[in-house]
């Protein structure tokens, strides 16, 4: 089987797109990025795609009077590249139910928190305000309700005493750049199954142990 076609939807910086494209360039990666679609004409992610020779389309949401009209055109643009998988990588528009249903089961998102904690925006600021010690990111299937779809994979990071929003965001983002390519590879390799709202990743190594933050003094961990 050849590499499966992946369309990536973006709105801004594009660091997740770059991480995914780097991974997809490696031998044995099961997906290939065949199309990048942005709702913002000035998104830096578009330059990242172009620099790698990936075809791009802009569907600017400001051209449309309604969310439904925008999503209909977006869906048309996405369908053109016949993707096996559609990835939201920093795509900052809430999608209509109609769009989500159309791509049901082949639409995934990377979100900068350990869902179901902190759906929505400003996740790092909210985590700091709550004083949590562990934060992270999630890759999940997209369902009509925002940030609640079945979880494929998560990565946890410690929240350190001197963290500000930028420091914490950067620590989480490094994990997004590992987690998203892994999830895309698993999907494209046919290694994900969904049953009763739980995603199983087949043949994935089991992570042993736990992240404890702050780390206990050595006398308890010997």
Identify whether 35 is a catalytic site residue. no
**Residues touching ligand GRF, count (CB under 6 A):** 13
Task: Find the binder of ligand GRF among 5, 13, 102, 174 (CB under 6 A).
Answer: 13
Nearest-CB residue for ligand GRF? 90
DSSP sequence for 61-80: GGG-SSHHHHHHHHHHHHHH
Q: Does the protein bind ligand GRF through residue 15 (CB under 6 A)? A: yes
Give yes or no for a contact between 140 and 221, defined as CB atoms under 8 angstroms apart: no
* Number of other CB atoms surrounding residue 18 within 10 Å: 18
Select 71 or 176, whichever has its Cβ closest to ligand GRF. 176
Collapse the DSSP code of 47 into the 3-class scheme (helix H, G, I; strand E, B; otherwise coil) and give the result: helix
Task: Kindly name the residue from 111, 124, 140, 177 that is annotated as catalytic.
Answer: 111
Q: Does the protein bind ligand GRF through residue 176 (CB under 6 A)? A: yes
Q: How many residues does the chain have?
A: 222
Distance of alpha carbon 88 from alpha carbon 71, whole angstroms:
14
Task: Find the binder of ligand GRF among 4, 8, 16, 135 (CB under 6 A).
Answer: 16
The site for ligand GRF (CB under 6 A) is made up of 12-16, 45, 89-90, 110-112, 173, 176
């Amino acid at each position: 089987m050849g590499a499966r076609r992946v369309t990536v939807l973006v709105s801004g910086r594009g660091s997740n797109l770059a991480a995914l494209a780097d991974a997809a360039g490696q031998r044995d990666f099961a997906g290939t990025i065949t199309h990048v679609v942005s709702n913002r004409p000035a998104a830096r992610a578009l330059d990242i795609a172009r620099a790698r020779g990936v075809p791009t389309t802009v569907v600017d949401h400001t051209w449309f009077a309604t969310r439904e009209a925008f999503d209909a055109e977006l869906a048309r643009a996405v369908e053109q590249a016949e993707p096996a998988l559609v990835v939201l990588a920093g795509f900052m528009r809430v999608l209509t139910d109609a769009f989500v249903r159309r791509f049901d089961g082949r639409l995934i998102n990377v979100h900068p928190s350990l869902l179901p904690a902190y759906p929505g925006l400003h996740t790092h600021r909210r985590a700091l305000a709550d004083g949590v010690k562990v934060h992270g990111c999630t890759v999940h299937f997209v369902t009509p309700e925002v940030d609640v779809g079945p979880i494929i994979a998560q990565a946890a990071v410690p929240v350190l005493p001197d963290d500000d929003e930028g420091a914490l965001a950067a620590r989480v983002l490094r994990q997004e750049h590992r987690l998203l390519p892994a999830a895309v590879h698993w999907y494209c390799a046919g290694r994900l199954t969904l049953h009763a709202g739980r995603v199983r990743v087949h043949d994935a190594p089991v992570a042993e142990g736990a992240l404890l933050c702050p780390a206990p003094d050595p006398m308890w961990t010997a």
